Amino acid sequence: MATKAKKLTAEDLRAKTEDELAKMLMDLKKQQLNLRFQKSGGQLANTAEVRAVRREIARIKTVLTQKTDGSAAPAKAKAAKAAPKAKAKKAAA
């Protein structure tokens, strides 16, 4: 029943609107529910799909939060910019 979808990156998700992301989130939650039922009934052939769907949900929630907070830049980029300043202070001390 479950179809294997192409894994979307965070950049792909950021290009979508909040409504599109909300719809994708609802679809993935329905898929997650179906996978849980299949797993409990012993019908799930690919158990790794549960993990993949869970991670896709987390990825979409993260992008939605970034869009609502107004912080579209990834956290890693912010940390990378702050790191050289911290090193410079340590070297000066």
pTM score, whole prediction? 0.68
Distance CA 45, CA 28 (A): 18
Tokens of 20: 């599109």
Domains of the chain in start order, with CATH, are 10-92 (1.10.287.310)
Buried b (16+ CB within 10 A) or exposed e, 45-64: eeeebbeebeebbebbeebb
Distance CA 58, CA 71 (A): 17
Contact of 62 with 10, CB cutoff 8 Å:
yes
pLDDT in tens, the chain (93 residues): 445 556 788 889 999 999 999 999 999 999 999 999 999 999 999 999 999 999 999 999 999 999 988 876 555 555 556 656 555 556 665
